[in-house]
Amino acid sequence: MADQAPIVVVGTGLAGYSLLRELRKHDPDTPVVMLTADDGTSYSKPMLSTGFTKNKDADGLAQASAENMAVQLNAEIRTHVRVVSIEADRHELVVTGEPAGEQRLVYSKLVLAWGAEPVHLNLAGDGQDRVYSINDLMDYRAFRKAVDGARRVAIMGAGLIGCEFANDLRNGGYEVDVIAPDHRVMPGLLPEAAAAAVRSELSALGVGFHLGTVVERVDAVGDGVNLTLASGEQIAADVVISAVGLRPRTEPAEEAGVQTNRAIVVNRALETSVPDIYALGDCAEVDGHVLMYVLPLMACARALAKTLVGERTEVRYGVMPVMVKTPCCPTAVYPPPADAEGQWQVESEGRDVRAEFRSPVGETLGFAVTGDYAVEKQALARKVPAIHS
Ligand code: FAD
């Protein structure tokens, strides 16, 4: 029964749709069912933090409806349904959604591309309904509605996403305050000098920074909120963005016996610990790497498509620098491996920073470039070792 069943892909984000595009290059006909908790609209998630700069609202960012994608990809796409359990021995899924309620679905092979969940802070106060996490197009639509006619936006979190939204919202004419616990921006990603350059350019653009502290309370005041920080500071805002991190979704795979760690554990062939179940995208830990970016998931989609048509293929991650979309201070970074020995060597002049992480024998293992030096990213990318070297 199971081998005549469709391939089931859970998730219609960039991982799910990229996989189907790749699969259809090799195999136009094998039945595929895609399941998604959202409305299945195809869009490019990185564009969510460029909406004001590029003058595009949620409709402007939508590329194709689920119906169009179903035709393009020759797949059945079921929207607004959620996988609640996996019975791996029987190759079955339990899915819920309106109006059909709970349903069972048999799969031949199951691909988990169900992404990551925004981390929600447990804050005191009665203003929580003005706090928005933006992790998909539907979130973005709700956020754009909330900021329509508003003036002041507070952003919790100064990571890549918090900084990108800060720049974009300033470009949209909003007053922006960023609150974050670390004393510098993008602490896990950028070396100090590059982080200081981005912060200083964002400040010059008018972004207010409240670093080294956290939001403790969000209280409703009229149509807006008042934020109370641990430092005692008070900030008034109309809308709050929570950009404090994403956690790869592991349930209900974990309950079904699939091995998980920081995310769903897969090898370089994207195989989980359970036969016929695969994972890619933000929910996957590939050979020890959790890389929640587009280039890694595209590489995984190409490899997994071949595996699904019978040509078992391992992914190879090359050099994949991260571009930070802060147009006030163009930035690219390729962090060194977490356990690498060495030191940052920095050339810096105002907003222009060129930092190379060198090993004790002088090998460049990572880099960060900002401002005018950002154009050097390609030359530097040729010097560093690939992730899978
Ligand atoms: P998602 O797009 O989150 O898709 C998950 C899918 O699974 C959705 O369809 C969802 O409905 C579905 N789903 C979830 N749970 C269930 C369930 N139980 N049952 C059924 N369906 C379910 N990366 C870059 O490389 N460069 C950038 O510049 C960049 N900018 C970014 C800017 C922002 C604002 C954000 C939020 C991310 C950015 N990223 C960037 C990261 C990149 O966009 C993500 O790594 C990528 O889009 C993840 O795709 P995904 O398909 O794995 O997950």
- Residue 244 alpha carbon to ligand 1 centre in Å: 15
Average pLDDT over residues 302-306: 98
Kindly state if the Cβ of 297 falls inside 6 Å of ligand 1: yes
> What are the counts of helices (DSSP H) followed by strands (DSSP E) for the chain?
8, 27
Question: Is the confidence at residue 100, as pLDDT, over 90?
Answer: no
Kindly state if the Cβ of 13 falls inside 6 Å of ligand 1: yes
Alpha carbon nearest to ligand 1 atom 33, residue:
46
Question: Is the confidence at residue 98, as pLDDT, over 80?
Answer: no
Bridge-partner residues for 234, per DSSP? 228
Structure tokens at 336: 């060194």
The helix or strand, by DSSP H or E, that contains position 170, with its residue range, turns out to be: helix 160-171
What are the φ and ψ backbone dihedral angles of 78, each rounded to 5 degrees?
-105, 115
pLDDT tens by residue, 77-88:
999 999 999 999
- Residue 369 alpha carbon to ligand 1 centre in Å: 26
- pLDDT bin (cut points 50, 70, 90) of residue 334 is very high
Please tell me the predicted confidence (pLDDT) of residue 101. 86
What domains sit in the chain, N to C, each tagged with a CATH number?
Answer: 2-117+246-308 (3.50.50.60), 120-242 (3.50.50.60), 330-381 (3.30.390.120)
First to last CA, the chain: 41
Please tell me the predicted confidence (pLDDT) of residue 307. 98
pLDDT tens by residue, 111-161:
999 999 999 999 999 999 999 999 999 999 999 999 999 999 999 999 999
Please tell me the predicted confidence (pLDDT) of residue 74. 98
Please tell me the predicted confidence (pLDDT) of residue 236. 97
The helix or strand, by DSSP H or E, that contains position 201, with its residue range, turns out to be: helix 192-204
- Residue 281 alpha carbon to ligand 1 centre in Å: 7
- pLDDT bin (cut points 50, 70, 90) of residue 284 is very high
- pLDDT bin (cut points 50, 70, 90) of residue 1 is low
How far is residue 198's CA from residue 305's CA, in Å, rounded to a whole number? Answer: 39
- pLDDT bin (cut points 50, 70, 90) of residue 389 is confident
What is 25-47 written as a DSSP string?
HH-S-S-EEEE-SS---EE-GGG
- pLDDT bin (cut points 50, 70, 90) of residue 108 is very high
Which of 9, 12, 45 has most ligand 1 atoms within 8 Å of its beta carbon, as the pocket-test mutant?
45
SS3 144: helix
Q: Which atom of ligand 1 is nearest to the CA of 36?
A: 21
Kindly state if the Cβ of 130 falls inside 6 Å of ligand 1: no
Do 241 and 155 form a contact (C-beta atoms < 8 A)? yes
- Residue 135 alpha carbon to ligand 1 centre in Å: 7
Do 212 and 176 form a contact (C-beta atoms < 8 A)? no
